[in-house]
């Protein structure tokens, strides 16, 4: 039965009336008296509301009275909000006049007052008690602590048993493990424990989580897997076959762990298509299915279901005390523990119920409250169903709900409009609550902070729980049972309609969520039946058939909408009649085809949030945007700010705005830097460009914007004379930000000196600094920025010296295009990443013992990699009797030295795991102690006459070797002993004739990938054969290649799965004994002679390739039937070997191999 919460609405109506009376604007003669009477009646009712709301479930007539009161209040709120809007617009136009709406409002208010008079008189028969408090919805003063959902008790043995099932290798095919149990037992929590277990992570590099819920939609499930895998949104207009193709390419024979959470589908025919696709992975694949249904386990499971039992009472108690007594002292706990144990006993082993009760009582030492909960009659309702062995948990959760303050009850009940398993960000939910008027400023707290506290409190009380659905971001969702609770208490004014539901809604319905593919008929029906609607939400990923005419009717009819979500639709034109939604506060047009907004949208005086994310063709905001004085959130993609030339004028009118990523200073009125003056609430990032147009930079008042984290200050980069330099120095001084700034970027500043707010220690929290194009500075001093961690210096042609030794927090340094720079600090102890590029005067580097990544590029006079400095320091210390230990650089993971012609040798303490050397003519040796034990990837490029190639050390650790652009390399006179080598890339060696050498390629016993590109003189593969473990062979642009070897060269490669031959015009045939039976993929392109021989069944070479499932030549593409679906998408994807190697494009240059999958993740640059 729906439960009514009227208190917050009463408070809001009284507050609105008070504001209107105080302003004395827009009220007709005689209406002020009526409004005051309305407020007086509501105040009288407000004093008795608590008693009425507490008794409503036991007294049906009382509940009916509350329902009538609620509807009157909703109507009054709509009238008053519209009247307040008209009054504000009149005031803005400096006209006090009686609008047509105000004339009608007088009659409406009188009718509302008459209805309220009847309700007030009817109230007397219920003999309601007056609340001893002030009757208002006061926020609790308690500071609520975020509940850590990682605290789980009593499932250790369950976790261990399931983990062993996942790690077992006994299954001959894909294993599906169902976890079955009633609602509230913790099936999802157990699955999360397993999913995040370290041993499970180590076994399964690919792990995906999908919340399925009641609708087993194959398209959505596949898309969710792809999105989880790629950590990005996938195009919503892709067909099922396209999605299947992409998923098949992801699976590609690899093992994975997939969790299908909360499955309800009991139709085998819906599961079968997904099962067939997932079986294309490795047989070691494991799938966990959580469900309440044993039938689900029967049709999906390949193993008997794991039936989750009730949690033992002692473990329930451990869970309860961990949450409820988190901040209690011993004396409080002594009085409460006995009651707490009895409450836990009544929870019947259901962890969700235990958490709900514990969250309710958390930190509350009031014994009477604990006793009242223990004695609640609701427990009897629950126990009445216990004989079925399936206790009804909803009454238990209802106890927790009953003890929520009114302001949280309405926030929670509203969430019933979201579908089950819906995942949301806290910040987004708060914006929606604000649009409904649920959140108000409290004391010094802004609405956003207050709303965040509301959400945190609902998390603390276990109404919301953390979700792992998106990597790197904290999101939330409601447990299915909590969602059931929300629906049960909000059904009178919240409706969630699905495709198979009747789309009729009552006139009292205020919030509607539509889960339909074809939404237009439903919208028209709702607009006809529920004219007082406040929320219209479409949670589907993709909406179709939303026409302009339907929107026109919607805008004309639903005049009281506060929240409208049209995202993910095919909408391309927004009707100008949008201006009729005068109370609209939240409008989401994200991921639509909108190109332009009508200027009439700027008449939406109450609009707080405007979302245009993912609108790829939208690049200009409406001209009168400055009229949206209540706008707080303007959400646009970074690409918009990059491509949009200027903002509309008078952006400074948006004094409530929280986010403005970019502002281009203009000279005309309405575009000047003074527009930033009153935008005191800006948060996050602000990029100010064209600063040369700023007449008085101090007008921006940047030092008052306390919530800005990142600031970008940019001049246009034009040439200036000496007078401009002094002006720019003053301008930058006047742009002083607040001291809490953490990231600062300065572009094209022409001053000779930086202001003291940079050099003088004001920015104590700054951790990232970029100086780009600051052409006048000669000496840099940053010692007064104690927390600086990232420093980027670029295009500072006059910079000569930066020698601060006190940058002890610095861990990432990039310097490029500083032609005169000759001195850096001698020691940078905490630097982990250092990139030095095009510094033509720099001869030596700092000592960096913590270094992990080093890139040196185009530094023509660089001679010593800090060895000379170290020798000098060592000698100095020895002269003073100080013992010095040689530094260890065992943290070094990656080193690139490119075009540094004066570098002759590497320091003997440098032992990277990944190393690239290119264009270092004087370097002739790689004799470094410990290098042979750590080196995993080595790339040698443009090394004269192959000397460095011959210097490759014998090592078992090397996984990947790249040899490219080596002049005068005719053959390999000696192959080093590399037993661990898995990938060998040889490319653009113009003089290479033979791959044979001492030891031959066969000695590479672990080699799985061999790629040969751009070797025009190579005529044949080695006659002695290739490594037997080879899985992937690529030969591209070897224009003299005539032979793929003699008999046995390829046939003996029993592990070979992929063969790619491209642009080898002289190649006529395969070896006479054919190709190995293991071959799965063959691609031949740009080989006309070979294609002629094998491209059709009549060709003499056809029999050698006919057994291969996937064949692609210039003439024809042929596939095994099971592969056909994958092919259409695969031809547009990089060629990927079965072993996990991406060999598309210039493979050797971009591929960096490592021990797992041979793919290095992350880049240094």
What are the pLDDT digits (tens) for 986-1038? 999 999 998 876 667 888 989 999 999 999 999 999 888 899 999 999 999 99
Measured distance CA(614)–CA(598) in Å, rounded: 19
Measured distance CA(614)–CA(592) in Å, rounded: 7
pLDDT band at 380; cut points 50, 70, 90: low
Predicted local distance difference test score (pLDDT) of residue 168: 85
Residues spanned by the domain of 284: 156-307
Under 8 Å between Cβ of 34 and 109: yes
pLDDT band at 259; cut points 50, 70, 90: very high
Q: Do 431 and 417 reside in the same domain of the chain?
A: yes
Q: Please return the burial class of 231, using the count of CB atoms within 10 Å of its CB with bins 0-12, 13-18 and 19+.
A: exposed
Each residue of 645-684: b (16+ CB within 10 Å) or e? ebbbbbbbbbebbbebbbbbbbeeeebbbbbbbebebbbe
Q: Do 465 and 337 reside in the same domain of the chain?
A: yes
Mark which of 412, 441, 475 sits at the end of a domain. 475
Q: Do 600 and 560 reside in the same domain of the chain?
A: yes
Q: Do 441 and 527 reside in the same domain of the chain?
A: no
Total number of residues shown for the chain: 1165
Predicted local distance difference test score (pLDDT) of residue 1123: 42
Tokens 């005309």 belong to residue = 668
Question: Does 504 map to a domain?
Answer: yes
Mean model confidence pLDDT for the chain: 82
Total-model pTM: 0.78
Which among 828, 824, 826 has a CA at the least distance from the CA of 836?
A: 824
DSSP conformation class of 429: H
Q: Is the pLDDT of residue 1109 over 90?
A: no
Residues near 114 by beta carbon (within 8 Å), at least 6 away in sequence: none
Predicted local distance difference test score (pLDDT) of residue 530: 85
Predicted local distance difference test score (pLDDT) of residue 504: 67
Measured distance CA(1128)–CA(1140) in Å, rounded: 20
Most confident of 713-722, 819-828, 909-918: 819-828
Measured distance CA(771)–CA(526) in Å, rounded: 57
pLDDT band at 1128; cut points 50, 70, 90: very low
CATH number at residue 557: 3.80.10.10
CA angle 966, 968, 969 (to 5 degrees): 65
- As given in the structure block, the two tokens for residue 782 are 């940053």
CATH number at residue 227: 3.40.50.300
Q: Is the pLDDT of residue 838 over 90?
A: yes
Q: Do 387 and 287 reside in the same domain of the chain?
A: no
Q: Do 293 and 394 reside in the same domain of the chain?
A: no
* Secondary structure of residue 685 in the 3-state scheme: strand
Measured distance CA(597)–CA(634) in Å, rounded: 14
N- to C-terminal Cα distance for the chain? 60
Predicted local distance difference test score (pLDDT) of residue 516: 74
Predicted local distance difference test score (pLDDT) of residue 386: 38
Question: Does 715 map to a domain?
Answer: no
Measured distance CA(46)–CA(1094) in Å, rounded: 88
* Backbone angles phi and psi of 1092, in degrees to 5: -60, -30
pLDDT band at 609; cut points 50, 70, 90: very high
* Backbone angles phi and psi of 887, in degrees to 5: -70, 155
Quick one: average pLDDT of 337-363?
A: 86
Q: Do 162 and 268 reside in the same domain of the chain?
A: yes
Q: Please return the burial class of 103, using the count of CB atoms within 10 Å of its CB with bins 0-12, 13-18 and 19+.
A: exposed
Mark which of 278, 307, 336 sits at the end of a domain. 307
Under 8 Å between Cβ of 353 and 396: yes
pLDDT band at 217; cut points 50, 70, 90: confident
Q: Do 383 and 444 reside in the same domain of the chain?
A: yes
Residues near 242 by beta carbon (within 8 Å), at least 6 away in sequence: 1128, 1129
CA angle 739, 740, 745 (to 5 degrees): 85
pLDDT band at 1133; cut points 50, 70, 90: very low
Distances (CA, A) of 735 to 82, 677, 712, 763, 1059: 41, 12, 11, 13, 61
Residues near 773 by beta carbon (within 8 Å), at least 6 away in sequence: 717, 747, 748, 749, 794, 795, 796
Q: Is the pLDDT of residue 753 over 70?
A: yes
Each residue of 875-913: b (16+ CB within 10 Å) or e? eeeeeeeeeeeebebeebbbbbbbbbbebebbbebbbbb
Most confident of 524-533, 556-565, 826-835: 556-565
Q: Give the range among 303-307, 1148-1152, 1154-1158 with minimum mean pLDDT.
A: 1154-1158
Q: How does pLDDT run across 859-880, given as a tens digit for each residue?
A: 999 987 755 555 554 554 455 4
Tokens 């589908």 belong to residue = 265
Question: Does 564 map to a domain?
Answer: yes
Under 8 Å between Cβ of 857 and 837: yes
DSSP conformation class of 974: B
Most confident of 786-795, 919-928, 1108-1117: 786-795
Q: Do 614 and 498 reside in the same domain of the chain?
A: yes
Question: Does 667 map to a domain?
Answer: no
Predicted local distance difference test score (pLDDT) of residue 1124: 39
Predicted local distance difference test score (pLDDT) of residue 723: 52
pLDDT band at 154; cut points 50, 70, 90: confident
Question: Does 1108 map to a domain?
Answer: no
Question: Does 591 map to a domain?
Answer: yes
Tokens 């980027």 belong to residue = 792
Distances (CA, A) of 341 to 151, 200, 318, 344, 376: 19, 36, 10, 5, 15
Q: Do 216 and 115 reside in the same domain of the chain?
A: no
Mark which of 624, 659, 694 sits at the end of a domain. 659
- As given in the structure block, the two tokens for residue 270 are 């819906």
Each residue of 958-978: b (16+ CB within 10 Å) or e? bbbbbbbbbeebeebeebbeb
* Secondary structure of residue 488 in the 3-state scheme: helix
Under 8 Å between Cβ of 597 and 576: no
Measured distance CA(71)–CA(532) in Å, rounded: 10
Q: Is the pLDDT of residue 830 over 70?
A: yes
Tokens 């007052």 belong to residue = 113
Which among 27, 44, 135 has a CA at the least distance from the CA of 79?
A: 27
HSE-CB for 421 with a 13 A CA cutoff? 18
Q: Give the range among 727-731, 732-736, 872-876, 1064-1068 with minimum mean pLDDT.
A: 872-876
Q: Is the pLDDT of residue 112 over 70?
A: yes
Q: Do 500 and 433 reside in the same domain of the chain?
A: no
Question: Does 1083 map to a domain?
Answer: no
Kind and range of the H or E run holding 430: helix 426-435
Number of domains making up the chain: 4
CB count, 10 Å around CB of 56?
22
Residues near 152 by beta carbon (within 8 Å), at least 6 away in sequence: 186, 189, 193, 319
Q: Please return the burial class of 1163, using the count of CB atoms within 10 Å of its CB with bins 0-12, 13-18 and 19+.
A: exposed
Under 8 Å between Cβ of 840 and 861: yes
Predicted local distance difference test score (pLDDT) of residue 215: 80
Question: Does 884 map to a domain?
Answer: no
Q: Give the range among 146-150, 618-622, 736-740 with minimum mean pLDDT.
A: 146-150
Q: Do 289 and 363 reside in the same domain of the chain?
A: no
* Secondary structure of residue 930 in the 3-state scheme: coil
Quick one: average pLDDT of 806-832?
A: 91
Kind and range of the H or E run holding 511: strand 511-515
CB count, 10 Å around CB of 252?
16
362 Rama class: left (phi>0) / alpha (psi -120 to 50) / beta: beta
Measured distance CA(180)–CA(292) in Å, rounded: 5
């Amino acid at each position: 039965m729906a439960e009514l919460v009227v208190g917050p609405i009463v408070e809001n109506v009284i507050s609105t009336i008070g504001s209107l009376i105080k302003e004395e604007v827009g009220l007709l003669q005689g209406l002020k008296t009526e409004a005051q009477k309305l407020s007086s009646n509501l105040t009288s009712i407000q004093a008795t509301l608590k008693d009425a709301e507490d008794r409503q479930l036991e007294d049906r007539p009382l509940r009916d009275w509350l329902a009538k009161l609620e509807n009157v209040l909703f109507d009054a709120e709509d009238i008053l909000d519209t009247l307040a809007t008209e009054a504000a617009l009149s005031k803005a136009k400096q006209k006090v006049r009686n609008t047509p709406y105000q004339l009608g409002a007088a009659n409406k208010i009188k009718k509302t007052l008459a209805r309220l008079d009847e309700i007030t008189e009817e109230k007397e028969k219920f003999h309601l008690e007056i609340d001893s408090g002030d009757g208002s919805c006061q926020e609790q003063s308690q500071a609520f602590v975020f509940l850590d959902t990682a605290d789980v008790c009593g499932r250790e043995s369950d976790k261990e048993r399931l983990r062993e099932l996942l790690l077992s290798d006994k299954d001959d095919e894909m294993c599906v493990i169902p976890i079955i149990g009633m609602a509230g037992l913790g099936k999802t929590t157990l699955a999360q424990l397993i999913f995040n277990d370290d041993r499970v992570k180590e076994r399964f590099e690919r792990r995906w989580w999908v919340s399925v819920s009641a609708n087993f939609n194959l398209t959505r499930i596949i898309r969710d897997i792809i999105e989880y895998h790629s950590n990005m949104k996938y195009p919503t207009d892709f067909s099922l076959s396209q999605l299947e193709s992409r998923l098949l390419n992801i699976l590609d024979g690899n093992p994975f762990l997939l969790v299908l959470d909360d499955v309800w589908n009991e139709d085998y025919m819906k599961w079968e298509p997904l099962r067939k696709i997932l079986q294309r992975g490795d047989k070691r694949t494991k799938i966990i299915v959580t469900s309440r249904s044993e039938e689900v386990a029967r049709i999906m499971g390949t193993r008997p279901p794991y039936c989750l039992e009730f949690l033992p009472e002692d473990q329930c108690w451990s869970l309860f005390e961990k949450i409820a007594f988190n901040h209690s002292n011993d004396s409080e706990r002594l009085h409460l523990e006995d009651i707490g144990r009895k409450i836990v006993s009544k929870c019947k082993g259901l962890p969700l119920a235990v958490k709900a009760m514990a969250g309710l009582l958390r930190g509350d030492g009031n014994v009477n409250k604990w006793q009242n909960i223990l004695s609640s009659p609701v427990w009897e309702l629950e126990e009445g169903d216990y004989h079925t062995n399936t206790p009804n948990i909803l009454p238990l959760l209802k106890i927790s709900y009953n003890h929520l303050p009114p302001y949280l009850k309405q926030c929670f009940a509203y969430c019933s409009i979201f579908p089950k398993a819906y995942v949301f960000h806290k910040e987004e939910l708060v914006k929606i609550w604000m649009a409904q008027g649920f959140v108000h400023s409290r004391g010094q707290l802004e609405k956003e902070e207050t709303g965040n506290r509301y959400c945190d409190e609902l998390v603390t009380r276990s109404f919301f729980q953390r979700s792992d659905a998106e990597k790197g971001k904290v999101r939330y969702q409601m447990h299915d049972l909590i969602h059931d609770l929300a629906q049960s208490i909000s059904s009178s004014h919240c409706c969630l309609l699905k495709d198979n539901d009747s789309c009729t809604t009552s006139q009292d319905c205020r919030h509607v969520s539509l889960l339909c593919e074809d939404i237009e008929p439903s919208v028209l029906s709702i607009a006809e039946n529920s004219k007082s609607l406040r929320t219209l939400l479409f949670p589907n990923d993709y909406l179709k058939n939303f026409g302009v005419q339907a929107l026109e009717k919607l805008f004309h009819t639903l005049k009281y909408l506060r929240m409208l979500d049209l995202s993910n639709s095919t909408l391309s034109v927004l009707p100008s009649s949008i201006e009729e939604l005068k109370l609209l506060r939240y409008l989401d047009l994200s991921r639509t085809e909108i190109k332009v907004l009508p200027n009439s949208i700027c008449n939406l005086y109450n609009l707080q949030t405007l979302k245009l994310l993912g609108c790829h063709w939208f690049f200009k905001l409406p001209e009168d945007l400055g009229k949206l004085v209540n706008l707080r959130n303007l959400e646009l993609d970074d690409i918009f700010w990059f491509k949009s030339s200027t903002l509309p004028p008078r952006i400074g009118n948006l004094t409530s705005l929280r986010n403005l990523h970019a502002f281009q200073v203009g000279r005309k009125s309405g575009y000047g830097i003074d527009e930033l003056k009153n935008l005191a609430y800006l948060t996050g990032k602000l990029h100010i460009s064209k600063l040369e147009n700023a007449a008085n930079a101090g007008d921006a008042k940047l030092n008052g914007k306390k919530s800005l984290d990142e600031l970008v200050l940019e001049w246009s980069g034009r040439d200036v004379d000496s007078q401009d330099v002094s002006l720019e120095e003053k301008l930058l001084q006047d742009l002083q930000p607040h001291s809490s700034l953490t990231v600062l970027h300065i572009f094209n500043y022409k001053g000779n000196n930086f202001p003291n707010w940079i050099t003088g220690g004001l920015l104590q929290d700054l951790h990232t600094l970029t100086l780009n194009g600051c052409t006048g500075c000669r000496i840099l001093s940053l010692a007064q920025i104690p927390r600086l961690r990232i420093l980027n210096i670029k295009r500072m042609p006059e910079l000569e010296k930066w020698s601060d030794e006190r940058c002890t927090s610095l861990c990432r340094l990039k310097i490029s295009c500083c032609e005169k720079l000759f001195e850096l600090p001698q020691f940078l102890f905490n630097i982990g990443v250092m990139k030095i590029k095009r510094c033509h005067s720099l001869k030596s580097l700092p000592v960096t013992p913590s270094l992990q990544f080093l890139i040196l590029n185009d530094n023509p006079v660089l001679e010593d990699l800090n060895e000379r400095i170290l020798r000098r320091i060592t000698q100095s210390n020895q002269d003073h009797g100080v013992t010095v230990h040689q530094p260890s650089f065992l943290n070094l993971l990656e080193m690139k030295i490119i075009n540094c012609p004066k570098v002759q040798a590497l320091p003997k303490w440098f032992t990277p795991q990944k190393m690239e050397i290119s264009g270092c003519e004087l370097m002739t040796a790689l004799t470094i102690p410990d290098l042979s034990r750590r080196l995993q990837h080595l790339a040698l490029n443009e090394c004269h006459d192959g000397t460095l190639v011959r210097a490759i050390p014998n090592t078992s650790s090397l996984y990947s070797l790249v040899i490219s652009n080596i002049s005068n390399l005719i053959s390999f006179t000696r192959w080093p002993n590399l037993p661990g080598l898995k990938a060998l890339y040889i490319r653009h060696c113009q003089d290479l004739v033979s791959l044979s050498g001492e030891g031959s390629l066969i000695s590479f016993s672990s080699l799985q990938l061999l790629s040969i590109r751009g070797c025009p003189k190579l005529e044949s593969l080695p006659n002695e054969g290739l490594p037997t473990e080879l899985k992937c062979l690529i030969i591209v642009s070897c224009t003299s290649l005539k032979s793929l070897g003699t008999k046995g060269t390829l046939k003996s490669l029993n592990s070979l799965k992929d063969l790619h031959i491209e642009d080898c015009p002289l190649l006529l045939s395969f070896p006479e004994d054919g190709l190995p039976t293991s071959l799965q993929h063959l691609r031949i392109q740009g080989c006309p002679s070979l294609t002629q021989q094998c491209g059709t069944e009549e060709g003499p070479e056809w029999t050698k390739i006919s057994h291969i499932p996937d064949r692609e030549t210039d003439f024809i593409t042929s596939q095994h039937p099971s592969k056909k679906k994958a092919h259409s998408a695969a031809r547009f994807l990089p060629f990927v070997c079965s072993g996990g190697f991406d060999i598309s494009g210039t493979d050797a240059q971009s591929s960096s191999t490592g021990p797992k999958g041979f793919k290095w993740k992350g880049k240094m640059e």
